[in-house]
Structure 1
Amino acid sequence: METGPEAAPGAIAPGGQRPDQDDLLTPAALAFLAALHRRFEPARQQRLAARRRRQAEFDAGALPDFRADTAHIRAADWRVAPLPPALLDRRVEITGPVDPKMVINALNSGASCYMADFEDSTAPTWANLVAGQRALRQAVAGTLAFTAPGSAGAAGKDYALKPFEQQAVLLVRPRGWHLDEKHLVVDGTAISAGLFDLGLFAFHNARALAARDRGPYFYLPKLQSMEEAALWDEALVQVESALGLPRGQMKATVLVETLPAAFEMDEILFALKDRVAGLNCGRWDYIFSCIKTLRAHPGKVLPERGQVTMLQPFLKAYSDLLVRTCHRRGAHAMGGMAAQVPIAGDAEANAAALQRVRDDKLREAGAGFDGTWVAHPALIAVARAAFDAHMPTPHQQHVRREDAQPTREDLLRTPRGSISRAGFDNNVEVCVRYLAAWLDGNGCVPIHGLMEDAATAEIARAQLWQWLHFGDTATAAGPRGPARAPLLLDDGTPIDFVLFERALIGLPGKLGGQDGIPGAAKLDAAIALLERLTRNDALEEFLTIPAYALID
C-alpha cells in the first residue's frame, strides 16, 4: 500500500466540519477526491491561465473567431457515440437546486429530465453542498423523503418520490473549472469545486445508476475551449476507471454559455465524442459572457437586458449554429431556460407570462431543438405542448438546418436598443436582491415574475459595469477614454456613478428595508459588494468568486 503525502486523503478545512457529513465524506471518498485533485489540478490551472491569456488578447482589441488550427475537425465527417435510450427523448427538462424538497418535486414533476444543479442555482454553503449530495444519494437509492415545517402548530406537508419508472431522468451539473471548493483541501490547496461535486456524486451513485442504465449523466458548465472539454473527458475516464465502469459509461451534455465556446462547438463535441449527449443553449450565461469577453470594445455595449432576447440576430445565429452543429454530429441540441414563474393573484400577468413561454418554446421547437429547459413545474405542460406539436418523434436530429450558415460577423453583431431608467434600476435591484439571498444561502430567487440565478445576476452586474465604465467620463480609468461621449438613458440622463449611487441609496427603502426580501439580513453586504465590484477598474470574472469569500 502507498504511504506518504501522495496517499493522504483530502482534509476538511476549518468551517467544514458538520456532524451529518461523515457518511458522505468517508475516508475512501476523501481518498478518491484527493486522487482526482492530484491528477488534474495542474492541468486545471493551465487551462485557467490560458483563459486569462485569451481574455487579455480580447481586451487588447482582438475578437473571437473560428480556430484555424482546428479547421480539419470542423471539415471532417464524424459523429459522436450513440445516445443511450434514457437520453433519446429530452423534450422538457426542469432545472433547480439540490435541496430535498426540490429534488423530490423535480423528479416527480413529469419532466423528461431533471438537472440537479450544484452551480448557478445553488449557493455553495457547506451545509447546502452536504445536504444536496445526501439528497441525491437518497434519491438514487429510492429512500428520499421530506417533511416541510408546519405553521401555527399544524403538521408539515410530506414529500415522497414516485416509483423509479415514473421519475425524470437525473442529470447533475457540477460547478465550473474556475471555482474552488475551499472546504476540502488536498496538499494545502483547495480542490476544484467541479471535481468535488462530480466526484463525490459519482463515488456514491455511479455504480447504482449504471446498473439501471441511467448513466450517470452530467451537464458541464462554463467551458471556453475544446481543451477544457478534453480535460473533463480525462477526468471522467479516471472516475470510470477508479469505479470499475466501462469507458464512456458516464455521459455529458455541455452548456455552450460562453462566447469563445460558440466558435468551438464542433471541437467541444469532438473532444468528448465518446460520451457527449448534446449541447445546450445556455442563453443567460452566454449573454453575460458576450459582455465580459468584449468588455473593452466600446462598439459592443449591449442595451438593457429585457431587449436582449433570442430574436436578436446575434443570439439567433448562435442558437441556429448550435442546432446545425449538433445534428450534423448525432448529438442533441437543447434549448434554453424559461425563467418565468407563476404570478399569484394576477391572472392577466400570469397568462401573459405563460404566453411568452409558449412563444419561446414554439420558436425553439420550430428551429429544430430536441428539447428545452424550464425553471418551474407549472411550465412543463406549456413547454411539452410546444414540442409535441413540432416533434412527434423522440428528437429532431433529422432536421439538419443546412440553411443555417452563421458567420463570425453574425455571432458578433451588436444588437440595437436603448437603456431606460427602469432597466438601469432593475439591474441594480436584481443584482442586490440576488446577492443578498445568495449570501444567505439561497441560490435561486423569484424576482418580478422571473426565477433569477447566478447567470441572470451576472448579466445585471456586468451590464452595470459596462454601462458605467463606458458611460461615466469623469475619469479615464479602465476601458473609458477621456474623449468618449457618455452613454445616456433613453430620457437623456447621463449614465454615471451619480445615477448608480442614487439607485443604491434608494433601494433599501424601495424593498422595505431589511424585512422585505429573502436574505434581508445580508442586504447591506450585498450593496457593498455590488458597489465595490462596479467601481473596480477591472470587471471581475465571476460574481460568485468574491461572494464565495463571504459565506461560511
Structure 2
Amino acid sequence: MAALRSVELERPPQALKEEFDTLFNDQSLRFLAELVSTFEEEVEQILNRRIARKVHLNLTGELPNFSEDTAHILSDKSWRVHPVPKRLQRRHVDIGDLSPCNTERFKLGLSSPAQGIQVDFDDGNCPTYYNQIKGLYNVYKVVRNQFPDVPPISRAPLLMLRPRAWNMVEHNMMVNGKEVPGPLFDFGLLMFHNGKLLLQNNSGPFFYLSKIECYKEARLWNKIFLWAEEKLDLPFGCIKATVLIENILATFEMEEILYELRQHSAGLNCGIWDYSASFVNKFGHRPAFLLPDRSKYVNMEKRFLKSYMDLLVQTCHRRGALATGGMAAQLLPQGKDSAPYRRVLATVTRLKLLEIQAGVDGFMVYDLDLIEPMQRLFQMHTSGENQLLVLRDDVSVTSADLLTMPAGGVTLYGLKYNIAVGILFIEAWLTGRGHFFYQGQVEDSATAEISRSQVWQWIRHRARLEDDERVVTRGLVRSLAQELLGELKAHRGRDFRGRETLLTAAHMFLEVVQRRDFPEFLTTYLNLDHMFLSSQDAHRQLEAKDSLNHKL
C-alpha cells in the first residue's frame, strides 16, 4: 500500500465518474505509481540534457553533425530492427490527429477503410483532465468492443497510440509530491488497461513517440517498454513504436534511434511543421537560419526537407524499418464535381505522390474522405504491402543538405496567416480543443509551433515584407493582430464570452512572439500558464463543490 499512499489524484467533473472509476483502481494506480517512481528521474535528466545541449550550441556556435561516438553502430551493416507484426506491415493510409475524446469522430475513424488511426493525446489534443480521461476511456471501450456499430478491434484500423511528449506534465496527478510526466501518465494507463487485450487480438500494443531529440531519449523509452512488458507479463518486444523525427537534432541520430529501439521499433515518421519549427527553436537567433515564409517557400520539395525525407527512408529501409510520411492537413470541399474539390484533391495527390516516390511505406490524412483516393494512389504506384525493398542507394545526404535554409522572404499574407493560426490555436486550447479548422485545413500544435516561431524570428531579425518593404516589427504584428480580432469579432456577433477568450488568446500570442528568449514549446507555455490552469479549475468547480483532491 506504500505506493498508493504516495499518490494524489484530482477528482474529475461528476460527468466522468464512471470513466474515472473504471480507469483508476488500486491496481492501475499501483502500476502508475511504480512506473513514475522508476523513471521520473531519468525523464528529468532528459529535459536537463536538452537545456544543456541548447546552451552548448548557443555558446559555441556549433552545428549538429553525424556523431563519431556512435560510428560502431553506423558501420555495422548487419543489425536490423525486429520484424513487425503482420497487421503493421501494410499501413498505406492512416488517419492523423484523431483526438480520442472526440467520441463521434473516433467511431467514424474506426468504421473507415483506413489501415490505422493515430490516436492522438499529443499534437491534435488539448490535455484537459476531461479530455485525457474521456480519451483514455474511449480507447478502453474500443479495445473491449463496447462501441455498437463499430468493427471489433481485431478488424478495425490499428490503434497507433500517441502519448504526450516529454515536455508535458499531468497536473492532476502527483506521485511522491511531484506532478507526473504526461507521457508516463498516458502510456501507463493505456498499457495497463489495453496492452494484453490488444496483443490477444493481433492489434498492438502500438505507439507513436513524439518530439524525441536524441537516441538517449529513445533508449529511455526502450527501458520503459521492457519494464512494462515484464510487469504486465507480456512477451518481450511485443510493444512496437514509431518515432516521429520532428527535431533537427534527431535527424542526425536516426540510425541510432532505430538501434536503441530495435526490438520495439515500428519505424520512423516525418513531421514537416514541427521539424521546421525546431530550426527556429535551436538556431533561430542566428541570421543564417532565417526561415522564409512557409506559405510560399517551405515544402517537401525544398532541399532541407527533401533531404530529410530521403535520409529517413534510406535509414529505415537499410535497417528493415518502416518509413512513414507526413499528414495531409487539407480538407476536401463539398461537391466531388466542383472545381474547389478537384483542386484540393489534385494538390494532395501531387504532394503525396512525391512521398510515395521517395519510398515511404505510408502516410496520414486528416479528412476521412481522402482515405480511399490516397489508398488508390498507393496501389497505382507501388506493389506489395510496403516499400521496404526501395533502399534508396541513390541518396547521399550531407549535414549541409539538412542545414541549408531555403531562399525566400516574407509576405504579408504569410505573416497574417501565421498570426491567425497562432491566436486561434491558443483560443482553441483555452476552450479545451487541440485543433481547429482554418482556410480549408486542420491546424494543430505543429502548425501553431511553426506559425509563432516564424513571427518571433521575423521580429528578431527585422525581416522585410516582399509586398511593400515594411519591416516586421512588434508594432506591425500588434496592428495585424488587431485587424484579425476585428474581423473575427464581427463574424462571431454577440458571443461575448467567446470574444473575451479570443482577446485573451491574442494577448498570450503577442507575449510569446515578443519575448526576448524563445519559449521552447508553445504547448509547454500554455500547459503551465495560469490562464489555462485556472480555466480548468473553473470547469471543475462548476461540476463539484466538494474537495477536488482525492488522496489514496
TM-score norm. by structure 2 comes to 0.91
Q: 1:137-536, aligned counterparts within 5 Å? A: 137-145=140-148, 160-306=149-295, 307-344=297-334, 347-471=338-462, 487-513=464-490, 515=492, 521-536=500-515
The superposition leaves residues 198-257 of structure 1 with CA deviations (integer Å, 9 ceiling, x where unpaired) of 110111111111111222100000000000001011111111111110111111011011
Corresponding residue number in structure 2 for 1:63? 63
The superposition leaves residues 500-552 of structure 1 with CA deviations (integer Å, 9 ceiling, x where unpaired) of 11011112211134827996552112111111111110010111112123141
The superposition leaves residues 135-161 of structure 1 with CA deviations (integer Å, 9 ceiling, x where unpaired) of 11101111125xxxxxxxxxxxxxx31
Find the aligned partners of 1:510 and 1:351 in 2 and give their Cα distance.
29
Corresponding residue number in structure 2 for 1:115? 118
Judge conservation of contact 1:10–1:33 (CA < 8 Å) in 2.
Answer: no
Aligned length: 521
Corresponding residue number in structure 1 for 2:17? 19
Alpha-carbon offset, residue 348 of structure 1 = 2.2
Letter in 2 for 1:353: V
Letter in 1 for 2:99: P
The superposition leaves residues 466-491 of structure 1 with CA deviations (integer Å, 9 ceiling, x where unpaired) of 100111xxxxxxxxxxxxxx544442
TM-score norm. by structure 1 comes to 0.91
Gaps of 5+ in 2: 537-552
SS in 2 for 1:512: helix
Alpha-carbon offset, residue 83 of structure 1 = 1.2
Alpha-carbon offset, residue 345 of structure 1 = 7.0
Judge conservation of contact 1:284–1:455 (CA < 8 Å) in 2.
Answer: yes
Find the aligned partners of 2:335 and 2:145 in 1 and give their Cα distance.
36
- The structure-2 alpha-carbon separation of the partners of 1:461 and 1:68, relative to structure 1 and needing over 3 Å to count, comes to same
Deviates more, 1:533-542 or 1:18-27: 18-27
Letter in 1 for 2:92: R
Letter in 2 for 1:392: S
Corresponding residue number in structure 1 for 2:131? 128
Deviates more, 1:287-296 or 1:36-45: 287-296
SS in 1 for 2:347: helix
The answer to whether structure 1 residue 10 and structure 2 residue 42 are counterparts is no
Find the aligned partners of 1:390 and 1:290 in 2 and give their Cα distance.
33
Q: 1:31-70, aligned counterparts within 5 Å? A: 31-60=30-59, 61-70=61-70
Corresponding residue number in structure 1 for 2:550? none
The superposition leaves residues 163-190 of structure 1 with CA deviations (integer Å, 9 ceiling, x where unpaired) of 4454111110000111111111101111
Deviates more, 1:352-361 or 1:508-517: 508-517
Corresponding residue number in structure 1 for 2:88? 87
Find the aligned partners of 1:515 and 1:19 in 2 and give their Cα distance.
34
The superposition leaves residues 431-453 of structure 1 with CA deviations (integer Å, 9 ceiling, x where unpaired) of 11121012101112111011101
Judge conservation of contact 1:121–1:454 (CA < 8 Å) in 2.
Answer: yes
Letter in 1 for 2:408: G
Structure that is richer in helix per residue: 2
Judge conservation of contact 1:184–1:191 (CA < 8 Å) in 2.
Answer: yes
Q: 1:66-77, aligned counterparts within 5 Å? A: 66-77=66-77
- The structure-2 alpha-carbon separation of the partners of 1:519 and 1:342, relative to structure 1 and needing over 3 Å to count, comes to farther
Letter in 2 for 1:453: D
Gaps of 5+ in 1: 146-159, 472-485
Alpha-carbon offset, residue 23 of structure 1 = 1.3
Judge conservation of contact 2:119–2:161 (CA < 8 Å) in 1.
Answer: yes
Judge conservation of contact 1:440–1:519 (CA < 8 Å) in 2.
Answer: no
Find the aligned partners of 1:535 and 1:57 in 2 and give their Cα distance.
24
Find the aligned partners of 2:124 and 2:183 in 1 and give their Cα distance.
15
The superposition leaves residues 344-394 of structure 1 with CA deviations (integer Å, 9 ceiling, x where unpaired) of 479322221111110111111111111111111011122112211122200
Letter in 1 for 2:261: L
Judge conservation of contact 2:213–2:250 (CA < 8 Å) in 1.
Answer: yes
Letter in 1 for 2:48: A
Judge conservation of contact 2:144–2:153 (CA < 8 Å) in 1.
Answer: no
- The structure-2 alpha-carbon separation of the partners of 1:391 and 1:519, relative to structure 1 and needing over 3 Å to count, comes to farther
Judge conservation of contact 2:287–2:461 (CA < 8 Å) in 1.
Answer: yes
The answer to which structure, 1 or 2, has the higher relative contact order (CA under 8 A, 6+ apart) is: 2
Alpha-carbon offset, residue 79 of structure 1 = 0.3
SS in 2 for 1:511: helix
Alpha-carbon offset, residue 399 of structure 1 = 0.5
Find the aligned partners of 1:359 and 1:388 in 2 and give their Cα distance.
15
Judge conservation of contact 1:100–1:144 (CA < 8 Å) in 2.
Answer: no
Deviates more, 1:6-15 or 1:78-87: 6-15
- Identical-residue share of aligned pairs (%): 36
Alpha-carbon offset, residue 162 of structure 1 = 2.5
Letter in 1 for 2:365: V
SS in 1 for 2:36: helix
